[in-house]
Amino acid sequence: MIIIGASGHAKDLVLVFEEIENTNDLVFFDDVTLPKPSFFLEKYTVLNSFEEIDFTSSPSFATALGDSPSRRLIAEKFMKAGGIYKSIVSKTAIIGNHNVKIGKGVNILPKVIISNCVSIGEGTLVNTSAQIHHDVTVGEYCDISPGALLLGYVKIGNNCSIGAGAIICPRVTLGDNITVGAGAVVVNDYPDKTTIVGIPAKSTQKKE
């Protein structure tokens, strides 16, 4: 398994890998950091260039990048080359057994709760202790930060970032490319490309 990214979020993801499977064949990919690292956490080999990967064997990979646009770009590059995008799910996560759809490349970290009738799109990160309640839809390449709470019938678009401890109240719909600040309480719907902060949450954009 190749883990793309060898910095902050990768350290969290290693916790999950060391819970769920043998890590002897785990390697990391980092073509950004300089000087180029040889090992991650003084244990795992780091590949520093795309050319080092043998895609003829259709290697499985996961992403450990906290920035969702970067995560999408590199995941699409790896899939196009023949890589298989894998979801990583902590043993301590609680996930419903009924009508739960989890896309490829989703990371679900420890102590997450996902209820029944939930859909989570490709490449989304559901971070530690987040809760996603019944009948919630989360789009592709979103970041659900630690302790965030998505209540019943919420709809989240693509490329959204929900801050740590934020609460999205029942039946709220958020568009694409939305940022919700840490600790915000969102009670209204918001369109694409909006930043929302506060209690109750309000858009930071000025009305024209």
Query: What positions carry a catalytic annotation?
Result: 134
Could you please report the per-residue DSSP string of 159-178? S-EE-TT-EE-TT-EE-SS-
Q: Where are the alpha helices (H) located in 50-190, listed in sequence order?
A: 68-81
Q: Where are the alpha helices (H) located in 44-197, listed in sequence order?
A: 68-81
Strands ordered across the beta sheet of 185-186: 94-95, 113-114, 131-132, 149-150, 167-168, 185-186
